[in-house]
């Protein structure tokens, strides 16, 4: 063991690193309860998401058998089995949603459905028996599973074996922290008790708390956390710090010693180069000993650096001479007080040292013809991520021609703008030059996105293959179509020609609507056989173009006697779309308020005076994003009054409506047992049990229209509310 004593310095540096960066959990010291949960959510939110169909490739990597990387360790049974054996029933492999996807109904909904932290390879028959049961204690009652013999179950509850109890708990706590109802996602909560289906809840909290304490993370679970961090760019904080669970859900006391404001310089050190680790020591007790330990395995102390226990602001020089390239170095800060250790873990990745002479430019890989001059060769390339499309990453290393490249089938990824170094084999697939069979992938984290190259349709060709481009002022032949969960192509054109946007099954476009009007399309240029196509990264790659054509009303839908939706042919300006005077009805209908949905093509009208029969709506003055205004368009529609109980005639009132904050107050005299909240797609997103504290409840700040179902002793009441 090498012991070094260093003189503390005072430095402030920033850090961006791989592995578990020392700064990853900065900001959580001194927090507990909801404040801690909120801060952790901000840290792990907005990860690189993948489709459920892609998930088997992710978990084949994250759950690979350490003794045989071609196998995976099956959850519940802990059996090692070939990763090629996915199927239905029997001993085939299924992708097990530990947080059952029916608890909140997020089947096929990104990013929840494909989040690999919640997915484990499992024996199909065992997965079927677990079904969507809550987790809790069953033994000595219930039934012992005949195949997963460490597991017990009954009609409502599944008790996993000791090897997976702690993992189950930490996965559920991750899901409840990652998904808080932000960005249109579902708000998931771990709760006391069982029988939580179909609500976005999972139990049993008491059992999960105990399992987290009793069965701490193993080396396999920690390795899985590191591998998923490479893929999704976020971590499960309860694998890194299982003690945080009790701080959030069990009102545990804060530790007397904490480490805060960690940073590392340089951001990504290399072998032969020292790095400076700085941190702040926060303690309300006298510390007996303080040191930093480095090692090649978790919790190891191959090298110890003793520190002055009396100095709050610390800076430590880390020497990586004893460690090899392409390695994780485990780092822990340790303070000892009366024999008790207070520890902060992190890890630092030491990349391979690659000389500039070893790099092949992307232009040299692409060449100037349809086939790469490097075909079949292993090359090392560098570039920045411009698109992450489930099974492919597209990188670029300049704005000139032949500077983009598709990297196929790599689990390691990055955010758009991240700098990466990749080693792989050059192949051609149906005319598309790709890097495949990846043997090295290092994310250097620059967060410096490229600007898209502006092209006309007729300029799209081999010289821009793999590059991020924007084609301006185009229109779609299939405008208004909803993208299915299947391979689909949508033709668009400018004045020079037409080309297609291709959506792969499970893509981020599934369920979205192909836009109307004149739009700009951004995406990467891909090729299939002799056809070039554009692959967009999300619906946000469709933006308003420079058109001179006014929008049109394409449909009017009666929700009930108080609410009407109006759909436009393109995105409309919010201020003109929400002007009450721009909507005039016949037959005594009066507009009380107007709200435009965030996607911009639909408004909802709150009206009075609706009656059965034929009505006419005249829309005037509503403009698109370019200022083109509708001129007195008339739309005839039929109305049937909803059979739902009229809210204003019930003994219940909810206000304010609309709400700017998502917080509503309920005023009632009836025995209301609970409130169920459904979003505009009909999915249950929240459930409140009454009495509600202070008669107020929060749907959350995500704008939109929501349906409330209020379950009373004798009747159910319904109310639509709006969050602005």
134: pLDDT strictly greater than 70: yes
647: pLDDT strictly greater than 50: no
150: pLDDT strictly greater than 80: yes
Residue 3's pLDDT is: 30
Q: pLDDT, tens digit, for every residue of 293-342?
A: 999 999 999 999 999 999 999 999 999 988 989 889 999 999 999 999 99
**Length of the chain measured in residues:** 724
Mean pLDDT of all residues in 178-186: 89
Q: pLDDT, tens digit, for every residue of 199-241?
A: 999 999 999 999 999 999 999 999 999 999 999 999 999 999 9
Residue 210's pLDDT is: 98
Name the 3-class secondary structure at 282.
strand
The whole-angstrom separation of Cα 55 and Cα 62 is: 10
Q: pLDDT, tens digit, for every residue of 671-712?
A: 777 788 877 655 677 777 665 545 777 887 777 778 787 777
Mean pLDDT of all residues in 466-478: 95
Q: Say if CB 513 and CB 592 are below 8 A apart.
A: no
Cα 239 versus chain centre, distance: 18
Global pTM value: 0.79
Strands, E, within 338-477: which ranges? 340-350, 378-388, 392-396, 404-408, 419-429, 432-443, 453-455, 468-476
What are the angstrom distances between the C-alpha of 527 and each of 504, 535, 588, 600? 13, 10, 57, 32
9: pLDDT strictly greater than 60: no
Q: pLDDT, tens digit, for every residue of 27-75?
A: 999 999 999 999 999 999 999 999 999 999 999 999 999 999 999 999 9
Per-residue pLDDT band at 1 (split at 50, 70, 90): very low
Average pLDDT score, the chain: 89
Instruction: Give the residue, 523 or 273, on which the prediction is more confident.
Output: 523
Per-residue pLDDT band at 433 (split at 50, 70, 90): very high
Q: Say if CB 248 and CB 180 are below 8 A apart.
A: no
**Per-residue tokens: 284:** 């309300």
Q: Is 149 exposed, middle or buried (0-12, 13-18, 19+ CB in 10 A)?
A: exposed
**H helix intervals, 179-275:** 205-214, 219-232, 237-240, 244-249
Q: Which value, to the nearest 10 degrees, does the dihedral of the CA atoms of residues 681, 129, 111, 109 take?
A: -20
Q: Say if CB 45 and CB 498 are below 8 A apart.
A: no
Q: pLDDT, tens digit, for every residue of 252-292?
A: 999 999 999 999 999 889 888 899 999 999 999 999 999 99
For residue 575, what are the contacts with CB-CB under 8 A and spacing of at least 6? none
Instruction: Give the residue, 576 or 447, on which the prediction is more confident.
Output: 576
Residue 682's pLDDT is: 54
Name the 3-class secondary structure at 54.
helix
185: pLDDT strictly greater than 80: yes
Q: pLDDT, tens digit, for every residue of 439-467?
A: 999 998 888 999 999 999 999 999 999 99
């Amino acid at each position: 063991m090498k012991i070094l004593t260093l003189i503390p310095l005072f430095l402030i540096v920033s850090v961006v690193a791989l592995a578990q960066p020392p700064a990853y959990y900065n900001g959580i010291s001194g927090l507990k309860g909801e404040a801690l949960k909120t801060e952790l959510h901000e840290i792990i939110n907005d990860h690189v998401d993948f489709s459920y169909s892609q998930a088997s490739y992710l978990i084949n990597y994250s759950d690979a058998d350490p003794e045989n990387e071609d196998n995976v360790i099956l959850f519940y049974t802990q059996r090692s089995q070939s990763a090629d054996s996915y199927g239905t029933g029997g001993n085939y492999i299924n992708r097990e949603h530990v947080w059952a996807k029916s608890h909140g109904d997020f089947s096929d909904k990104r990013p929840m459905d494909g989040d690999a932290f919640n997915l484990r390879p499992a024996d199909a028959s065992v997965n079927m028996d677990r079904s969507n049961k809550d987790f809790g204690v069953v033994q000595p009652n219930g039934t012992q599973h005949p195949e997963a013999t460490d597991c017990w179950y009954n009609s409502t509850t599944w008790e996993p074996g000791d090897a997976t109890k702690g993992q189950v708990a930490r996965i559920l706590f991750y899901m409840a922290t990652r998904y808080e109802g932000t960005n249109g996602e579902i708000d998931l909560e771990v709760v006391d008790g069982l029988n939580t289906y179909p609500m976005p809840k999972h139990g049993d909290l008491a059992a999960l708390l105990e399992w987290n304490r009793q069965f701490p993370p193993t080396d396999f679970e920690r390795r899985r956390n590191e591998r998923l961090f490479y893929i999704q760019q976020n971590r499960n904080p309860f694998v890194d710090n299982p003690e945080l669970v009790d701080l959030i859900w069990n009102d545990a006391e804060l530790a007397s010693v904490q480490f805060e404001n960690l940073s590392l310089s340089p951001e990504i050190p290399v072998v032969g180069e020292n790095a400076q680790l700085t941190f702040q020591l926060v303690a309300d007790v006298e510390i007996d000993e303080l040191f930093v330990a480095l090692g090649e395995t978790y919790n190891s102390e191959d090298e110890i650096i003793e520190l002055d226990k009396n100095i709050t602001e610390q800076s430590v020089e880390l020497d990586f001479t004893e460690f090899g390239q392409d390695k994780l170095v485990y780092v822990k800060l340790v303070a000892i007080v009366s024999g008790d250790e207070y520890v902060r873990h992190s890890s630092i990745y030491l990349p391979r040292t690659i000389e500039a002479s070893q790099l092949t430019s992307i232009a040299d890989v692409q060449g100037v013809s349809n086939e790469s001059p490097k075909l079949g060769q292993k090359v090392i390339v560098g570039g920045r991520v411009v698109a992450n499309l489930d099974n492919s990453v597209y990188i670029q290393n300049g704005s000139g021609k032949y500077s983009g490249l598709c990297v196929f089938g790599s689990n390691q990824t990055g955010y758009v703008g991240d700098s990466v170094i990749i080693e792989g084999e050059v192949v051609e697939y149906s005319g598309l030059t790709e890097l495949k069979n990846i043997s090295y992938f290092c994310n250097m984290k620059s967060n410096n996105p490229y600007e898209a190259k502006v092209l006309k349709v007729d300029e799209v060709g081999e010289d821009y293959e793999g590059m991020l481009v924007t084609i301006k002022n185009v229109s779609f032949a299939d405008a208004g179509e909803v993208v299915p969960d299947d391979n689909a192509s949508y033709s668009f054109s400018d004045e020079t020609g037409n080309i297609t946007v291709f959506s792969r099954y499970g893509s981020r476009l599934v369920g979205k609507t192909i836009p109307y009007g004149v739009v700009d399309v951004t995406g990467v240029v891909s090729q299939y056989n002799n056809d070039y196509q554009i692959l967009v990264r999300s619906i946000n790659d469709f933006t308003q173009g420079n058109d001179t054509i006014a929008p049109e009303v394409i449909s009017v839908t009666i929700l009930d006697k108080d609410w009407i939706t109006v759909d436009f042919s393109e995105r409309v300006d919010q201020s003109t779309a929400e002007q009450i005077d721009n909507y005039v009805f016949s037959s005594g209908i009066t507009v009380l308020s107007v709200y435009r949905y965030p996607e911009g093509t639909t408004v909802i009208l709150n009206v009075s005076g609706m009656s059965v029969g034929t009505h006419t709506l005249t829309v005037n003055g509503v403009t698109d994003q370019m200022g083109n205004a509708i001129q007195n368009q008339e739309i005839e529609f039929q109305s049937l009054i909803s059979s739902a109980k009229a809210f204003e005639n019930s003994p219940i009132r909810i206000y304010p409506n609309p709400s700017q904050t998502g917080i509503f107050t309920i005023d009632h005299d009836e025995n209301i047992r609970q409130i169920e909240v459904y979003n505009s797609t009909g999915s249950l997103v929240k459930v409140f049990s009454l009495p509600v504290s202070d008669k107020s409840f929060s749907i959350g700040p995500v704008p939109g229209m929501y349906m409330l179902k209020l379950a009373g002793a004798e009747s159910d009441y319904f109310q639509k509310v709006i969050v602005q």
